[in-house]
């Protein structure tokens, strides 16, 4: 159903109809599956990479300027490529490791490669916000680097880290939708195949609606959690 042969109201009504949702509902599951898997990888790898960037920086806890510059350059290169290009570039890798270049699993490689560098930079800047004084105090109490990271830096930066992760998750949802048109499936795929190629405006509306709601929910949870922690610590 589209706007060429039907009225606007009818198309919108149809967007909530059972035929449309028979197509959209499975796509939601695919999207959630990809998003959640990428979220986990991004959290672990991004946090690790961000901390490595912070620790090895010239002013960091364990300065390794050369290594830091090289790693920073890799991160910058990955960040400067548009997600679409990254997806195309990583498809051969998916074929190599997973054995196929289509389906939700295949695109997770691309999603992780495109989201981890971004989250790593956000983690780096969040942790750099922890006041020098607190780090000084921890060092003056004889804290080795690992406990300094786990007991001081991460807990102190937690509200900021949660906000950074919220931004990352929203980016993941958006890249997941994009990956849809490269054979990954999910809401992006449905929106392009039905909404764009076959002029099924009602399906396009339904897919967009779900994406909007997903992003809103993520933002709401992220903001809420970050605010809860800040409030609990009586910092606002």
Partner 1 sequence: MSYAASHRSKESENISDTSSFITVKDLYKTFHTPEEKVEVLKGINLTVSKGDIFGIIGFSGAGKSTLIRCLNRMEIADSGVIRIGEHQIQDLPKKELNLYRQKIGMIFQHFNLFDSRTVFQNVAYPLEIAGYSKKEIKHRVESMLELVELGDKINSYPGQLSGGQKQRVGIARALANQPDVLLSDEATSALDPQTTLSVLDLLKDINRKLGLTILLITHELDVIKYTCNTMAVLEKGLIVEKGPVRDIFFNPTSETAKLFVKINANFSAKQWVFEGEAI
Binding status of residue 150 toward partner 1 by CB under 8 A: no
Residue 78 DSSP SS3: helix
Residue from the set 137, 212, 217, 221 that interacts with partner 1 by CB under 8 A: 137
Short-list 217, 209, 41, CA closest to 120: 41
Q: How far apart are CA 168 and CA 164, in angstroms?
A: 6
In the complex, minimum distance from the CB of residue 234 to partner 1, in angstroms, rounded to a whole number: 3
The secondary structure of 108-120 as a DSSP string is: HHHHHHHHHHHHH
Task: Tell me: does residue 131 bind partner 1 (CB under 8 A).
Answer: yes
Strand intervals (E) in 53-207: none
Q: Does 136 bind partner 1 (CB under 8 A)?
A: yes
Residue 43 engages partner 1 in binding (rule: CB under 8 A): no
- The answer to the question of residue 66 lying near partner 1 (CB under 8 A) is no
Between residue 174 and residue 233, which ones bind partner 1 under the rule CB under 8 A?
232-233
Please select the residue that binds partner 1; options are 124, 156, 189, 202, rule is CB under 8 A: 156
Q: How far is the CB of 230 from partner 1 (least distance, A)?
A: 9
The answer for 82, left when phi > 0, alpha when psi is -120 to 50, beta otherwise, is: beta
Q: Rounded to the nearest 10 degrees, what angle do helices 201-232 and 18-56 cross at?
A: 40
Q: Which of residues 9-38 bind partner 1 (CB under 8 A)?
A: none
| Residue 232 Cβ vs partner 1, minimum distance, rounded to whole Å | 7
59 binds partner 1 (CB under 8 A): no
Among residues 36, 147, 196, 220, which is the contact residue for partner 1, using CB under 8 A?
A: 147
65 makes contact with partner 1 (CB under 8 A):
no
Smallest distance from partner 1 to CB 228, Å: 13
Q: How far is the CB of 76 from partner 1 (least distance, A)?
A: 25
Question: Minimal distance in Å, beta carbon 26 to partner 1?
Answer: 42
Tell the smallest beta-carbon distance from residue 200 to partner 1 (Å): 50
Contact (CB, 8 A) for 168 and 122: yes
170 and 218 in contact (C-beta within 8 Å)?
A: yes
Note every long-range contact of 17-25, with CB atoms under 8 Å and residues 24 or more positions apart, other chains counting. 17/202, 20/202, 20/203, 20/206, 21/206, 23/190, 23/194, 23/203, 24/187, 24/190, 24/203, 24/206, 24/207, 24/210
Residue numbers at the binding site for partner 1 (CB under 8 A)? 131, 133-134, 136-144, 147, 151-152, 155-156, 158, 232-235
């Amino acid at each position: 159903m589209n706007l060429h042969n039907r009225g606007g109201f009818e198309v919108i009504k149809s967007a909530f109809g059972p035929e449309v949702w028979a197509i959209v509902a499975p796509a939601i599951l695919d999207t959630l599956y990809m998003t959640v898997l990428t979220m986990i990888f991004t959290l672990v790898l991004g946090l690790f990479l961000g901390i490595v960037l912070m620790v090895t920086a010239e002013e960091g806890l364990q300065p390794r300027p050369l290594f830091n510059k090289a790693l920073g350059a890799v991160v910058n290169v990955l960040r400067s490529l548009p997600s679409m290009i990254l997806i195309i570039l990583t498809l051969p890798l998916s074929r190599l490791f997973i054995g196929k270049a289509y389906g939700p699993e295949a695109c997770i490689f691309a999603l992780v490669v495109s989201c981890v560098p971004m989250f790593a930079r956000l983690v780096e800047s969040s942790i750099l916000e922890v006041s020098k004084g607190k780090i000084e105090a921890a060092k003056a109490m004889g804290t080795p680097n690992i406990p300094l990271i786990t007991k001081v830096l991460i807990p102190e930066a937690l509200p900021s880290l949660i906000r950074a992760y919220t931004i990352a998750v929203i980016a993941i949802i958006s890249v997941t939708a994009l990956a849809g048109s490269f054979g990954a499936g999910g809401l992006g795929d449905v929106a392009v195949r039905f909404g764009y190629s076959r002029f099924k405006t009602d399906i396009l509306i339904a897919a967009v609606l779900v994406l909007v709601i997903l992003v809103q929910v993520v933002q709401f949870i992220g903001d809420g959690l970050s605010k809860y922690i800040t409030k609990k610590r009586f910092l606002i």
